[in-house]
Amino acid sequence: MKERTIRIPVPDDWHLHLRDGDVLDVTANHAASRCRRAIIMPNLKPPVVTVEEARDYLERIRATVRRPSFEPLMTLYLTDRTDASQIRKAVQSDHVFGVKLYPAGATTNSEHGLTSIQKAKEALAAMEEEGFPLLVHAEATDPSIDVFDREKAFVDGDLDWICQRFPKLRIVFEHVSSRHGVEFVRSESNRMGATVTPHHLLLTRNDLLAGGLKPHHYCLPVVKTEEDRQSLMEACLTLDNFFAGTDSAPHPRSKKESHSCAAGIYTAPFFPELYAMAFEHRFGAPEPDLESMEGFLRDFLCVRGERFYGLKSSAQEYMEIRRKDQQIPDHYPFGDDVLIPLYAGKTIPYTAEIIAPAP
Ligand code: DOR
Ligand code: ZN
């Protein structure tokens, strides 16, 4: 009989939104139920700009998480005023692992982001010198650019400029969503990594737009064509600088099912299962060769990101991912509203669980 279980170290999530306040208990514990470490995005209101603010946020997360081995890795939000001294403080700290560039107006809570790439020259030079990673939301903000071409426009404009001006800067191209983005990351592989979300691997714009608009499939960068999706799949399967980052981004239902739907898809409570689901077709679904898929998932979920960030592996706990149906809840509690996850109310073919080491 074929093996029905994948066993890997507890995965990491290299791109995660937890928010703050009364919803943190829900989001942080969902994340902790599936991952060991997570890069925590700084786009709070107000944003996490200083090393001290990142420390306070980290403490709020730690105070609410019930699995103490969960390790949040904090980031700072790059503004027009971020200077070299703030970068050097971050490098010296033991809790900040990167700086996130949001072009102002590109996405949720990005209004304090960069108004011009020129304003970041000092910070980027310090990061290049220190080998400190820049995490990029790679979308242009010019409203005249077609929404489906914004990643390409940013790549050909600001990102190309950054790469030429700072040839040694370490960069993570976050939630890459297009063939064009994939090709760019490939051409900069010596110093660039990319996170890939489960939803960009599972959905295309048909899932967003055909047969009625689906607000819970709306995120930024927007999901694209089947050709783009295939190119992401191929990159993950063949290039070791592409790794898992969910961009799980919680919004209350009232902000999603509204006349101006907030961007973000919520996947944190079952993300390893979603990656297994996305890739199983390449491993022979409906009877996938789980042994081969296990090797790939270990690399994609546990090894590559850690290597890019230069972190140590000290896995104590394991995860089992079974090919066993799981019913996704209709919703989760979320302050005085509710949170609708991807595939709410549907059944997915995998179920994951953290296995603690024997005492
Ligand atoms: O869909 C998204 N949601 N994309 C982002 O870049 C931000 C995120 C959020 O914070 O909601
Ligand atoms: Zn994000």
Could you read off the pLDDT of 105-158 as tens digits, one per residue?
888 788 889 999 999 999 999 999 999 999 999 999 999 999 999 999 999 999
Ligand 1 atom with least separation from CA of 41 = 10
Catalytic residue among 13, 158, 247, 299: 247
Evaluate: CB of 220 within 6 angstroms of ligand 1. yes
Would you say residue 3 has pLDDT above 90? no
Rounded Cα gap, residues 189 and 308, in angstroms: 11
Contacts of 133 (CB under 8 A, 6+ apart): 97, 98, 99, 127, 170, 171, 172, 308, 309
Query: Does 44 contact ligand 1 (Cβ within 6 A)?
Result: no
Q: How far apart are CA 316 and CA 22, in angstroms?
A: 31
> Would you state the pLDDT for residue 214?
97
User: What pTM did the predictor assign?
Assistant: 0.97
C-alpha 247 – ligand 1 centre gap (Å): 7
Average pLDDT over residues 229-233: 98
Q: Binning pLDDT at 50, 70 and 90, where does residue 356 land?
A: confident
* pLDDT on residue 121: 96
Ligand 1 proximity of 107 Cβ (cutoff 6 Å): yes
88: burial class by Cβ within 10 Å (0-12, 13-18, 19+)? middle
Q: Report whether pLDDT(358) > 80.
A: no
Q: Tell the residue nearest (CA) to atom 3 of ligand 1.
A: 264
Q: Which range, of 8-17, 43-52, 224-233, 309-318, averages the lowest pLDDT?
A: 309-318
Q: How confident is the model at residue 2 (pLDDT cuts 50, 70, 90)?
A: low
Residue 27's contacts (CB-CB under 8 Å, 6 or more residues apart) are 17, 18, 19, 250, 268
Percent of the chain with pLDDT over 90: 93
Nearest CA, atom 7, ligand 1: 108
- Enclosing H/E stretch for 136: strand 134-136
The per-residue DSSP string of 256-304 comes to: HSSTTPPP-B--GGGHHHHHHHHHGGGGTTTS--HHHHHHHHHIIIIIH
Rounded to an integer, what distance in angstroms lies between the CA atom of residue 160 and that of residue 170? 14
What pLDDT does 108 receive?
A: 77
The pLDDT score that the predictor gives to residue 316 is 81
pLDDT score recorded for residue 257: 97
H/E element holding 28? helix 24-32
Q: How far is the CA of 1 from the centre of ligand 1 (A)?
A: 42
pLDDT at 223: 98
Q: What is the mean pLDDT of residues 236-263?
A: 97
Q: Residue 160 has what pLDDT?
A: 98
Greater pLDDT, 357 or 131? 131
Whose atoms come closest to the Cα of 172: which ligand?
A: 2
pLDDT digits (tens, 9 = 90+) for 276-296: 999 999 999 988 999 999 999
Q: What single DSSP character describes residue 319? A: E
pLDDT at 123: 97
| Closest ligand 1 atom to Cα of 218 | 1
* DSSP letter, residue 210: T
Q: How far is CA 202 from the centre of its chain?
A: 15
Biggest alpha carbon–alpha carbon distance for the chain: 60
Known active-site residue 228: no
Q: How far is the CA of 220 from the centre of ligand 1 (A)?
A: 6
What tens digit of pLDDT does each residue of 18-27 get? Answer: 999 999 999 9
Residue 265: nearest ligand to its CA? 1
Query: What's at 219, amino acid-wise?
Result: C
Closest by CA position to 46, among listed 16, 76, 24: 76
Q: What is the share, in percent, of the chain residues with pLDDT greater than 70? A: 99
